[in-house]
Amino acid sequence: MEATGGLYICSVLLILTEVSSEYIHIPSLVHHGIEGKHLLLSVETHFSLDEAEIQGTWSHTRPSGTRTTLVTFTKDNAITDMMYRNRLLFRVPNISLLIQKLNTDDEGEYHLSLHIEFHNRTGLVNRERTVRVTVDVPVSTPVLEKSPSNAVVEDKANVTWTCSVERGTRVVFQWLRDNVALTPSDRYQFSQDNSTLFISPVRKEDKGTYRCLASNAVSQGRNSRAVELNVYYGPYNLEVNSVQGLRTGEVFTINPGELVFFECQADSNPPNSYVWISKNRNTTQIITEGPRLEVRSYRLAQAEEYLCRAFNNVTQKQDEAQFTLVVASLGTGKEKHTQEGSSLSPLAVIIVCSFFVIGCMLLFFLKRTCHPKRVLMSIYNRPFSEQKRPHRSGHEDAKEDFGIYEFVSIPGKMESAQASCRSLARLESIQDMHTTIYDVIRHVPETPSHSLLT
């Protein structure tokens, strides 16, 4: 436990020693200065100047390698090189250096060498730091140019874009098309400084709005004006469509006498010129020109082939779309709705189902109410003695009893005088029940004996 505590105390002392050894600190080791502006090379001291004596120098090394001592200083005095006396500001005891009115000759590395001698210690403490300084000119608004300046034809022309600035050093260029950054590819080539974009060959997908951005270390990206690239292309994706009739693949079916309009469309710049051609028995005939065709047929089961031809007068390219027109009765249009994939609305489905259920219920109740077997059940429900009792009409004269009679025969034995509701249910399930109808022709006998025999 004691060993662990001792190790912790040593670690803290070591950290404190390292912090105390950082006698000077420079917040930024790289400075991007603007031409004509001041630049301060700030230095922070982490010790008391009253407890030590200091001596140091600021020197400048240019990109060419030439080194010049700018300032030699102590705690009380400073000596500045005569060549930089009007452009450098150094105030003791602060050891920071201010460069006034920067120019491109001030670029390079600035080296600080400092020697410290503390009053209560022996020996010197030496510290050295190097700061890199760049001097840039702010970027002006870039100018974008295109060659050729007019529209170009795809696969036949190349385009060169140039982005330039009037002012600015170490400018970085970036290219955008429709606000999307462009990168090198097989057809997109950039110059070494990225100020030129070469497109070869131009294609349809290259059309759009182009801009370039210019920036450097002291300027944020500045946009050029937008320039449109117009590309002549096509025709592509030629299609023939119609909102009437029934379409199956490349076959259109219409009702006899129906007026049908066909639209021919293709992706093209500039717009295509369209020609409609009728093909019949290996012969072709130009019907009309333009993107729309009007057809009215009065012949039943007629099949004709048509062709739409699109031609681009600038690109000298053309495309064709062929279709067959069949004249046939489509009936109520059920097939058309099936083909188009349309479906009934949920409300219509609910209404139809409701009517179907109600109809089934009505049929069921009518069948239960008006079923022919109801007569049999009414007879079966009467007492057996009443069923066997001979029926008399009340007329003593037999002549009045002539007519049509219905005799009903029910097989099986009656076990009870009156059938219960349960028996009636079984009665309906009897499969061998028969009804026999006898027709008696009513006539007037010629003689009393003949009438009696009848």
* Domain 142-229: CATH class, spelled out: mainly beta
Which pLDDT score is estimated for 237?
Answer: 94
Per CATH, is 233-327 categorized as 2.60.40.10? Answer: yes
- What is the sign, positive or negative, of the torsion defined by CA atoms of 102, 103, 106, 108? positive
- Convert the pLDDT of each residue in 323-380 to its tens digit: 988 887 776 544 444 344 444 456 677 888 888 888 888 887 777 666 555 544 555 5
Q: By the 8 A CB rule, do 108 and 135 touch?
A: no
Nearest to 37 by CA among 218, 180, 161: 218
- CA–CA distance, 49 with 95 (Å, rounded to integer): 11
Backbone angles phi, psi at 439, to 5 degrees: -105, 125
Which pLDDT score is estimated for 354?
Answer: 83
Which pLDDT score is estimated for 353?
Answer: 82
- What is the sign, positive or negative, of the torsion defined by CA atoms of 14, 20, 24, 28? positive
Q: By the 8 A CB rule, do 421 and 451 touch?
A: no
Pairing of strands 78-80, 317-327: unpaired
Nearest to 47 by CA among 113, 120, 129: 120
Q: Which residues contact 205 (CB under 8 A, 6 or more apart)?
A: none
Starting at the edge strand that comes first in sequence, how are the strands of the sheet with 317-327 ordered? 246-248, 251-254, 317-327, 302-312, 273-280, 283-289
Which pLDDT score is estimated for 372?
Answer: 53
Half-sphere exposure of 47 (CA within 13 A, CB side): 22
Are 24-136 and 233-327 equal in CATH topology? yes
Per CATH, is 24-136 categorized as 2.60.40.10? Answer: yes
| Positions of the chain with pLDDT lower than 50, given as ranges | 1-20, 300, 333-344, 375-376, 384-396, 398-399, 402, 404-454
- CA–CA distance, 156 with 148 (Å, rounded to integer): 13
Which pLDDT score is estimated for 253?
Answer: 87
Starting at the edge strand that comes first in sequence, how are the strands of the sheet with 88-89 ordered? 39-41, 97-99, 88-89
- Which helix (H) or strand (E) covers residue 259, if one does? strand 259-269
- CA–CA distance, 33 with 155 (Å, rounded to integer): 47
- Where do the structural domains in the chain lie, given as residue ranges? 24-136, 142-229, 233-327
